[in-house]
């Protein structure tokens, strides 16, 4: 019911959808005026959006392998761009990024450069060639290009390690938002998050995930941009914040000078609740060494080009040409959010610390701050904290602490926006986390069902059986991820960055050299994947257990070491063993020509 005609009508369908969503926001705003409680609005936003995604997931159900694995390869460029942007921008991008910029300034903004610059590598080195190859999954490319089950299995292992690290963070994020919005215990909220995620992907695989991700992108971008424009206008900072906040950025610099960054004693800091931080770094000044910035950006860029859940989105375009253009659209849609995050951080910080603004709390008396409604709310939610370290009764910059999430979640309330905006933000965060989790779980389940089960265990399996295996795996992996997420081991952002490092260590060079170096062979690729991932894990454990590290590579950038080892191992081993056979060389030639049938003949 969703073939052909549906594809032609996409702009209309999503246009109506967007209009409907805006209508829903207005309805909630009217509801708020008429006395709807904050909690009811939060529940309505989250429940309504999840219901819509589930409905799209159900309508996109399919029994065909092509539709299940690559959405029938007919997703138009712009829509694939939106889907990729939603796939890409996780709960971390949505909830944590502006907070990171707020607290760490320049050093943190390497992530903005890294998470966009990586798409240049995707567009030039990989996406069009992998699309021409015509594979269903990333390990499918590795297995066919290099030949043999061992290479395929290694790729599946790297993919699983990287994606699973990532997905626990996303399920954690859906749990956090669901527990706040629906006011239930985190331990149960995690499973509610998981069920919503599975509703989107289980019946229709990639096809369902594609169309829900487009819907989720629309929700998350409205939820991110609307409050920023609103706050900026309300503060009189400028009607288009991106081009008009230079004075505000300069003003923060002045205030920083005026207040100074007073260092708190360890004993004082011990009284601050875990996870909250104060402003200790300059907002717009360069506060990191060039290498610290560049190494983090580089690790994120190479990681971007190795993460299978992103790469597989470009398998769904109708042509090689469309795959390239689609990378551009993806980056454009990502740019819309990423270029806004620093603006939100600026507005949020200024409204809190500028004593000349009505919302500013620095310089006010403690009694006064403690009587503010929003302060009480967020203090109760364990996201804000003040303590009179020097005992002068006035709040100083170094006596105010906040959780990273509060920048996105609390700023609308601080700026005095109606509660409907907070409900919208919760729905946006949920959309961001769900869309990424769906992409990741699908990437893992597809790799295991297609590459391990179908290609290695039972090559004669019928489509119905293959898709049944894929669906069972989807549920199993989802529950495994949720169980680990419920244990709350690693913070959201930490595990996201690790995923990038793992992916680049094991997959970057085997993928890139598979296209760009004909001489690369099976032995080299296996060595590259095994030693790359192995050395990365070793380095991470070493640094985490007190090792000093080298070259200034930290537990955020260890992928550079892993990828370096992977490159050397792959080149040396490839050159020491025989060149790939004629058929493989011909296959590489085929991949390099955009026209004609795909290499796998599908």
Enumerate binding residues for another protein (CB under 8 A): 106, 109-110, 112-114, 116-117, 119-121, 123-125, 128, 242-247, 249-250, 284-286, 290, 293-294, 297-298, 301, 318-322, 324-325, 327-328, 331-332, 335, 338-339, 341-343, 589, 592-595
Minimum distance from CB of 284 to another protein (Å)?
4
Q: How far apart are CA 376 and CA 138, in angstroms?
A: 49
374 CB burial (10 A radius; 0-12, 13-18, 19+): middle
What distance, in Å, lies between the first and last C-alpha atoms of the chain? 23
Q: Which two tokens stand for residue 392?
A: 């002068």
- By beta-carbon proximity to another protein, the closer residue of 51 and 291 is 291
Size of the chain in residues: 602
Minimum distance from CB of 547 to another protein (Å)?
27
Minimum distance from CB of 105 to another protein (Å)?
9
Minimum distance from CB of 373 to another protein (Å)?
32
- By beta-carbon proximity to another protein, the closer residue of 242 and 364 is 242
CB 167 within 8 A of CB 441: yes
Enclosing H/E stretch for 276: strand 276-277
Minimum distance from CB of 88 to another protein (Å)?
14
Minimum distance from CB of 246 to another protein (Å)?
3
- By beta-carbon proximity to another protein, the closer residue of 112 and 159 is 112
- By beta-carbon proximity to another protein, the closer residue of 45 and 314 is 314
- By beta-carbon proximity to another protein, the closer residue of 517 and 538 is 517
- By beta-carbon proximity to another protein, the closer residue of 243 and 267 is 243
Across the beta sheet with 384-386, the strand order is 276-277, 400-403, 384-386
- By beta-carbon proximity to another protein, the closer residue of 120 and 461 is 120
Q: How wide is the angle at C-alpha 548 spanned by C-alphas 545 and 550, nearest 5°?
A: 130
Minimum distance from CB of 77 to another protein (Å)?
10
Q: How far apart are CA 83 and CA 310, in angstroms?
A: 10
Minimum distance from CB of 289 to another protein (Å)?
9
CB 9 within 8 A of CB 408: no
Output Rg (C-alpha) for the chain, integer angstroms. Answer: 24
Q: How far apart are CA 501 and CA 555, in angstroms?
A: 9
To the nearest 10°, the Cα dihedral for 557, 561, 564, 566? -100
Minimum distance from CB of 262 to another protein (Å)?
24
Q: Which two tokens stand for residue 298?
A: 């580089």
- By beta-carbon proximity to another protein, the closer residue of 75 and 573 is 75
- By beta-carbon proximity to another protein, the closer residue of 59 and 113 is 113
Say if strands 276-277 and 400-403 run parallel, antiparallel, or are unpaired.
Answer: antiparallel
Q: Which two tokens stand for residue 5?
A: 């005609």
């Amino acid at each position: 019911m969703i073939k052909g005609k549906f594809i032609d009508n996409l702009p209309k369908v999503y246009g109506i959808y967007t209009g409907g969503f805006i209508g829903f926001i207005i309805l909630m705003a009217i509801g708020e005026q008429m006395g709807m409680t904050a909690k009811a609005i939060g529940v309505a936003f989250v429940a309504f959006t999840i219901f819509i995604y589930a409905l799209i997931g159900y309508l996109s159900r399919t029994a065909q392998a092509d539709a299940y694995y690559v959405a029938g390869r007919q997703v138009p460029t712009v829509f694939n761009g939106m889907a990729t942007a939603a796939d890409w921008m996780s709960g971390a991008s949505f909830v944590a990024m502006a907070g990171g910029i707020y607290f760490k300034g320049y050093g943190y903004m390497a992530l903005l450069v890294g998470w966009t610059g990586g798409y240049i590598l995707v567009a030039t080195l990989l996406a069009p060639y992998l699309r021409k190859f015509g594979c269903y999954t990333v390990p499918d490319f590795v297995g066919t290009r290099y030949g043999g089950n061992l290479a395929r299995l290694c790729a599946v292992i790297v993919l699983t390690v990287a994606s699973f690290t990532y997905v626990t963070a996303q399920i954690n994020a859906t749990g956090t938002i669901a527990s706040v919005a629906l006011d239930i215990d985190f331990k149960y909220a995690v499973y509610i998050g998981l069920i919503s995620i599975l509703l989107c992907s289980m019946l229709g695989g990639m096809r369902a995930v594609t169309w829900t991700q487009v819907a989720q992108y629309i929700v998350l971008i409205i939820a991110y941009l609307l409050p920023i424009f609103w706050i900026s206008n309300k503060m009189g900072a400028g009607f288009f914040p991106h081009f008009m906040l230079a004075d505000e950025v300069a003003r923060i610099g002045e205030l920083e000078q005026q207040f100074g960054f007073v260092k708190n004693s360890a004993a004082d800091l011990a009284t601050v609740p875990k996870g909250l931080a104060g402003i200790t770094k300059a907002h717009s000044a360069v506060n990191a060494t060039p290498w610290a910035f560049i190494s983090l950006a580089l690790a994120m860029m190479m990681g971007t080009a190795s993460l299978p859940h992103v790469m597989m989105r470009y398998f769904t375009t109708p042509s090689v040409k469309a795959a390239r253009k689609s990378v551009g659209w993806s980056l454009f849609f990502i740019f819309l959010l990423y270029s806004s995050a620093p603006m939100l951080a600026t507005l949020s910080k200024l409204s809190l610390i500028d004593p000349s603004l009505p919302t500013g709390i620095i310089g006010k008396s403690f009694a006064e701050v403690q009587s503010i409604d929003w302060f009480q709310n967020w203090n109760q939610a364990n996201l804000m904290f003040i303590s009179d370290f020097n005992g002068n009764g006035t709040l100083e910059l170094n006596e105010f602490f906040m959780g990273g999430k509060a920048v996105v979640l609390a700023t609308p309330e601080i700026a005095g926006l109606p509660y409907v905006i907070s409900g919208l933000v919760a729905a946006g965060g949920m959309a961001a986390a769900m869309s990424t989790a769906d992409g990741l779980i699908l990437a893992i389940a597809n790799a295991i069902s297609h590459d391990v089960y179908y290609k290695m265990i039972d090559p004669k399996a019928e489509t119905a059986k293959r898709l049944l295996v894929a669906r069972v795996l989807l549920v199993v992996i989802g529950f495994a991820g949720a169980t680990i997420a419920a244990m709350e081991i690693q913070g959201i952002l930490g595990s996201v960055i690790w995923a990038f490092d793992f992916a680049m260590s094991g997959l970057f060079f085997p993928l890139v050299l598979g296209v760009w170096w004909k001489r690369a062979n099976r032995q080299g690729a296996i060595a590259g994947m095994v030693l790359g991932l192995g050395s990365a894990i070793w380095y991470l454990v070493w640094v985490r257990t007190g090792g000093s590290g080298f070259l200034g590579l930290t537990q955020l950038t260890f992928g550079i070491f892993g990828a370096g080892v992977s490159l050397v191992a792959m080149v040396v081993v490839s050159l020491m063993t025989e060149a790939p056979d004629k058929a493989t060389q011909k296959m590489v030639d085929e991949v390099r020509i955009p026209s004609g049938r795909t290499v796998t003949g599908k």
